[in-house]
Homo-oligomer: A and B are copies of this chain.
Amino acid sequence: MATVDSLQSPRFCGIRTFMRQPWHNDAGDADAVVLGVPFDSGVSYRPGARFGPTALREASTILKPYCPVLDVDINQWLNVTDCGDIDTIPGYMAESLDKIRDGLIPFFKSRAVPVVLGGDHSISLGVLRAVKAARGPVALVHFDAHSDTIPGYYGKPYNHGTPFYHALKEGLILPQHSIQIGIRGPLYSRDALAWPKEQGLRIVMGEELHRRGLEAVAAEALERTAHCPVFVSFDIDFLDASCAPGTGTPEVEGFNTYEGLTLLRTICRETRTVGMDLVEVLPDKDPSGITALAGASMVHAFLAALALKKSAGRSAA
C-alpha cells in the first residue's frame, strides 16, 4: 500500500490511516511512524481520549503533504508509516504503562522517528520509559495547560496528572534542559509547582507566554534544549478551550492554533527531535472535529520540521 493521492481518490474514501499513509505493523525503513495509544484510564475527569487516535486519523485525511510555512513537502523527504495502535488494558494503569513501554521500544530503537497519538497524558510515562530504554534521557518540550507533576491522586501513583513527576523521579528527562510551556488555570495550592522547579524544570506559565510573546519563549526553549535529543509532548489543552473544546480538562486563557503551530515549528525545526506525542483529544466533546484537526495539524507540523531537517542534510534525531 502506498500513500493515497487525494487528487485521484477523494479524501473520504478508504480505510483511515494517518494522512492516508500506508499501514504496516513495524517500522521497516520508515523515516517516521505514527502509532496510536488508545488509553484513557488515567483521567481525573472526562474519559474518552481512547478514541483520540481514530479521530486524529480521520482529521488527518484532509492534510496535504506540502507545508507552505516551512516550504517543505513531507512526502518528498519522509517515508511515513502508520503502524496502528498499541494494545492497552483499560482499568489497569501499571500494566498498561508496561505494555506501552514494551510496545514502543522497538519503534524508538528503529531508524524512524515515532509520533504517538494518545490517549490521555498518563501514557507519556510509558512513552518516555520507552524513549529512555532506547535512546537514554531526553530534553522535554512540553506544551500543556497543566504541569502534570503531581506525585499521585487518590493514593495512587499513576494518573494523567502525574506522568512528569515520575519521569523526573525516574530520570527519563533532563530537567535542566526541559521546559513546560503554557501552564495555566487554578492549581491545588501555591506550592503545587515547587517540586518540579526545584528539580530544575523550567515552567513558562500561560500568563508569561501571553506577556513575553512567542519569539522570546521559543528562543528560551531552543537555548535550554540545545545539543540534546528532544522529545515533544503536546497536550491539546495547551490550546484555548475555544480552539480545542474536545479534551478532558479544557482550560480558558489559552493559546490559538497559530500560536501553537508557530511555537512548535520554531522549536522543532532547530532541535534534534526523537519523538513526539499528541495527547488528550476527546472526540465525544468535539462535535465539529476542530480539536482533532488541531491535533493532526500539530503532528503535521512536527513531520514537516522533520522533513525540513532531512532536506537540509541534518539527521532527524
Task: Let me know if A253 and B257 touch, CB within 8 A.
Answer: yes
Count of chain A residues with a beta carbon within 8 Å of a chain B beta carbon = 99
Check A38 for interface membership: any CB of B closer than 8 A: yes
Instruction: Give complex CA distance A4, B155 in Å.
Output: 15
Task: Let me know if A91 and B93 touch, CB within 8 A.
Answer: yes
Query: B residues within 8 A CB of A8?
Result: 87, 154-155
- Least CB separation from A245: chain B residue: B288
In this complex, the member of A7, A36, A254 whose beta carbon has the largest number of chain B beta carbons within 10 angstroms is: A7
Instruction: Give complex CA distance A36, B15 in Å.
Output: 9
Query: B residues within 8 A CB of A297?
Result: 252-253
Task: Let me know if A62 and B45 touch, CB within 8 A.
Answer: yes
Given the interface pairs A82-B15, A91-B93, A252-B257, the reply to whether A190 lies near B154 with Cβ below 8 Å is no
Task: Let me know if B188 and A154 touch, CB within 8 A.
Answer: no
Q: Which of A63-71, A173-181, A222-230, A266-274 contacts B (4 or more CB under 8 A)?
A: A63-71
Task: Let me know if A15 and B287 touch, CB within 8 A.
Answer: no
Q: Which of A104-112, A128-136, A235-243 contacts B (4 or more CB under 8 A)?
A: A235-243
Check A313 for interface membership: any CB of B closer than 8 A: no
Task: Let me know if B10 and A66 touch, CB within 8 A.
Answer: no
A-B contact pairs, 18 of them (CB 8 A): A1-B25, A7-B150, A7-B188, A15-B15, A46-B51, A63-B186, A65-B186, A66-B188, A66-B192, A92-B93, A240-B257, A245-B287, A245-B290, A250-B288, A252-B257, A252-B297, A253-B297, A286-B288
- Besides A241-B257, A242-B256, 16 new A-B residue pairs in contact (Cβ under 8 A), listed by A number: A6-B44, A10-B44, A10-B87, A10-B90, A13-B36, A48-B48, A54-B58, A63-B186, A68-B207, A91-B91, A186-B300, A210-B258, A240-B242, A243-B252, A252-B290, A254-B257
